[in-house]
């Protein structure tokens, strides 16, 4: 690969990387909020909502993420509304990953000793106050490693958004290959950029798990 082609490719790929990071950040926020809501409804929701929350998690965990993205992007247009690819990507990834994140939160909530609820009631806290001030902080510490692991999966899933036309990192790599060829070199650069983003997070998860095993 010539130096000129390398520099041109890197400029395009860095633009795609920025779009990937923005898409990942927005989807992480959306997926976390949806997942937490689904976990709360499934654990403490009023009559009927636990079943709905369970149906949501089972439905999206049992279907490919591409189907979710296609349904949102083309389904909205089918009903006469317009949605850009970035918004469709954020909504699709948030809904899809939220189903997995909800299970992470639910397992963390169930891991908090039941005595914490009893102590909260003795202190006169309502159920909502107990959850946000006592249970949720403890849940956060428990679920952080698997939650970050799920975020890693989400970041890698952003490559699928190229299938609906978003110009993120993978789409940028495909555009370069279509124009100049050299798929091994270009996709190699794409893989390196994904690795640079994901490796620090995976190392943090590994370090956290190792630290917990030493303390236990």
CATH code of the domain in which 52 resides: 1.10.3720.10
Backbone angles phi, psi at 80, to 5 degrees: 90, 15
pLDDT per residue over 82-120, tens digit each?
Answer: 888 899 999 999 999 999 999 999 988 888 887 777 777
In the prediction, which pLDDT does 25 show?
95
Q: How many domains does the chain have?
A: 1
pLDDT per residue over 13-23, tens digit each?
Answer: 888 889 999 99
Q: What percent of the chain has pLDDT over 70?
A: 94
Inter-CA distances, 110 with 44, 55, 115, 167, 215, Å = 11, 19, 12, 40, 21
Residue that wins the pLDDT comparison between 35 and 162: 35
pTM, whole model, 2 decimals?
0.86
Residue-range definition of the domain harbouring residue 158: 3-215
In the prediction, which pLDDT does 94 show?
95
Rounded to an integer, what distance in angstroms lies between the CA atom of residue 11 and that of residue 40? 44
Inter-CA distances, 90 with 39, 43, 73, 83, 160, Å = 20, 26, 11, 11, 12
């Amino acid at each position: 690969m010539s130096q000129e082609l390398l520099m041109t490719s890197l400029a395009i790929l860095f633009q795609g990387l920025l779009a990937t990071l923005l898409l990942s950040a927005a989807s992480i926020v959306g997926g976390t909020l949806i997942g937490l809501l689904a976990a709360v409804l499934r654990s403490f929701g009023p009559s009927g909502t636990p079943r709905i929350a369970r149906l949501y998690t089972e439905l999206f965990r049992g279907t490919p993420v591409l189907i979710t993205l296609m349904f949102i992007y083309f389904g909205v247009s089918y009903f006469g509304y317009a949605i850009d690819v970035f918004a469709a990507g954020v909504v699709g990834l948030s809904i899809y990953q939220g189903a997995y994140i909800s299970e992470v939160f639910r397992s963390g909530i169930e891991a908090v000793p039941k005595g914490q609820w009893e102590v909260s009631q003795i202190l006169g806290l309502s159920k909502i106050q107990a959850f946000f001030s006592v249970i949720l902080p403890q849940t956060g510490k428990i679920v952080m490693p698997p939650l970050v692991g799920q975020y890693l999966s989400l970041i890698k899933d952003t490559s699928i958004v190229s299938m609906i036309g978003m110009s993120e990192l993978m789409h940028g790599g495909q555009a370069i290959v279509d124009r100049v060829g050299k798929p091994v070199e270009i996709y190699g650069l794409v893989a390196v950029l994904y690795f640079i983003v994901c490796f620090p997070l995976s190392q943090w998860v590994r370090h956290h798990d190792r630290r917990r095993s030493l303390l236990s």
